Structure 1
């Protein structure tokens, strides 16, 4: 169960995983900010402001629809050929797609082809990010010392928030130094043109980073006996056939986590500007600084589960707290007061970290080695479609229908209920032997099973 990876090597792996994840999510999430601020005008100019925002958020959701397919492909490849190849491919795919958005002409130039091509490129982005998370999460959790698995797994999660903060910071700088006309016409493109950096990082990981010791052990077993071995001909089918309950549990466990994250980093931007009347820069700074605290809180809570002896209990606590805080969050934001808005976002991001921090370790321990990439990716990415991808769209639609934030708060409570039911049914597999295969798990006597 102990990998015996030297601390210096773990440090290098952590830096590579966090940096690659940060850039991946920066590329994916700057779309969310652009959708809230400028895409309605650029690609759907004939619509009303509210309809244009809904349309841009709909294209934002398209990327999430493609994420399960990216997870399926990467899961199969990752369980059969290694954790590293799909991770590298995902970064290259995302980098190329993001750069393409940066040079895509708007509706005024190429008419209806602009939103069509935007949707296609967004789907490619979805494939890339759908493939990436499982590889980065397993790269760290399968290398990490068993007693620090929660901490190292949480570092992967910080990449998402670092990417979101970097994206918001980029837009804050652009808003500061460019006029509204400059930002709307060409300034928004600058963050997307940085996509090519991901291609370079993918090349570095391909050359410098080893695959995980868990997968190398699976390869050794496969060479000895493919019938008993860890690597199957169709790991995706095996994951669905043998571990469909865990996949459904992982899907439900991510609901409130993913929905609230996109409400905080994207939907809240549009809401605070159009409904509350805050300035664009004020809400960007509030979301950016409050979100940045997760760089500390997520490793803290991930490491806390290593000491508590349970990922599940802390996750459940965070789920309940998020449901309870849904209404107070909007009461604070609706004041329009920058300090109170910041306080609301800070509390929400902190509660969010109690779940998102330990999630990578929780998911890694839910699945045996031979189907871990497939199972964890399927659960994570299916939830991203119905929770995160639709959250800003649902938030905007609820606001249009009710003209009040209570409906959005109630939506958060609903996702919290789904997550609570899913997590409470998960068996505690704290510090599970990550080398264990499906056959070994099935062979264990019921008296000693999880």
Structure 2
């Protein structure tokens, strides 16, 4: 798809772009299904299954700590997959990341409980969570840039938004399967052993995802990089030449979205059921409906970004998330189910305003020959600083303060930092990136090679 910004792509190129966008959506949905399945289980199941000797509060904190382990592993996955994605191609690395996530999730469903093997149960849980994190670390940036690099002119944000839809899509899929399995089996059987079924189902879902992903063609941007002999030996180091100010501001701009999203998707389940006496099923259904709203609004926001520019939308969305964080927990704390639904649906409506374009903002930071490595560094750095620690920090703040006030201030503070980072970032750099590959050959850090 070698079109200039002013050329219309051919019918075949448009079909390839559409097929790639749907393939990245399918793949990221399945990977996030596996990842969020763990989050839901950590909030509701794992404290009893793997940490029964701890108090309910300490057990929940321990379960969320294992949830955070996956985020600690994500930068490693991002660096490894990013390196090879910039050297041998995007397609192969995305296939491997999907397989790795499927293996990790399937084996989690087979881990014996603490009662059966004692200390080794949480050890195995943490180990497989690391495998999950490494797999997802390779997926996040790779899927976004793969879809974006196939995008027709003028639709960069729209196509980059398809992989972003996999986040709420995976949450919806995970929660629906979780709910259906629980409803069919009953609470006791589900808590005892039925929770394993959704994890074991990962094997089938990933097999389907692989069939779809293997049919995707390599990124045209990477094909041009290879044809122009612009593959570099150490792409991560080369990506640092973008400069520390832009890298740091980009990281700050995206960190709040991750933190708020994981408090909304994961921490809310344990907080609402254990401290506010909301029914677990009610909370899961409400979060699922909010995630579905998040999913369907992403194409709307990305089309607006393509038509009117994404910087104003991103800054306005960042401000809106901050304001809603002020109201979110007070609405939940009323104990009124209707107001709780309003709080959760508000998150589902506001979070996608920034989430839908943060991928394209990150990808546009780097030239094509180091894009996978650089984007992975920013994306996974934001994920670990924001999302990975958010449920654990929120639980610790709740336990120490006895109320949600500390959690609210934590979210408001991190949103203010991201808003300031976004404003500074857009003053520093133009909204749109230059052509995917620089016209002049790039001088590699330590020589070239395939």
Are residue 10 (structure 1) and residue 29 (structure 2) matched? no
Residue 130 of structure 1, CA deviation: 0.4
Which residue of structure 1 lines up, in the alignment, with residue 408 of structure 2?
Answer: 409
Which residue of structure 1 lines up, in the alignment, with residue 74 of structure 2?
Answer: 67
The range that moved more, 65-74 or 355-364, is 355-364
TM-score of the superposition, structure 2-length normalised? 0.93
Which residue of structure 2 lines up, in the alignment, with residue 36 of structure 1?
Answer: 43
1:47 aligns with one of 35, 51, 54:
54
Unaligned runs of 5+ in 2: 444-450
Are residue 305 (structure 1) and residue 312 (structure 2) matched? no
In structure 2, relative to structure 1, the CA distance for the partners of 1:438 and 1:259 (3 Å cut) is farther
Deviation readout 1:191-218 (Å, 9 max, x if unpaired) = 1012223542464356411111111000
Deviation readout 1:288-324 (Å, 9 max, x if unpaired) = 1011101221111111111112x22211111111112
Structure 2 distance, partners of 1:396, 1:146, is 45
In structure 2, relative to structure 1, the CA distance for the partners of 1:144 and 1:429 (3 Å cut) is farther
The range that moved more, 104-113 or 175-184, is 175-184
Are residue 168 (structure 1) and residue 178 (structure 2) matched? no
Runs in 1 of length 4+ with deviation above 4 angstroms? 438-442
Mapping for residues 51-200 of structure 1, pairs under 5 Å:
51-197=58-204, 199-200=206-207
Residue 269 of structure 1, CA deviation: 0.5
Which residue of structure 2 lines up, in the alignment, with residue 251 of structure 1?
Answer: 251
Are residue 436 (structure 1) and residue 437 (structure 2) matched? yes
TM-score of the superposition, structure 1-length normalised? 0.93
In structure 2, relative to structure 1, the CA distance for the partners of 1:156 and 1:434 (3 Å cut) is farther
Unaligned runs of 5+ in 1: 223-229, 443-450
Which residue of structure 2 lines up, in the alignment, with residue 290 of structure 1?
Answer: 290
Structure 2 distance, partners of 1:314, 1:99, is 39
Which residue of structure 2 lines up, in the alignment, with residue 393 of structure 1?
Answer: 392
Which residue of structure 2 lines up, in the alignment, with residue 318 of structure 1?
Answer: 317
SS at match of 2:364: helix
Q: CA RMSD in A?
A: 1.8
Deviation readout 1:370-405 (Å, 9 max, x if unpaired) = 111111110010111121011111111111111111
Q: Is this contact kept in 1: 2:242–2:366, CA < 8 A?
A: no
Deviation readout 1:120-177 (Å, 9 max, x if unpaired) = 1100100000000111101110010131111111111110101011111112212322
Residue 435 of structure 1, CA deviation: 2.2
SS at match of 1:277: coil
Residue 265 of structure 1, CA deviation: 0.8
Mapping for residues 352-363 of structure 1, pairs under 5 Å:
352-363=351-362
Structure 1 distance, partners of 2:375, 2:242, is 13
The range that moved more, 429-438 or 401-410, is 429-438
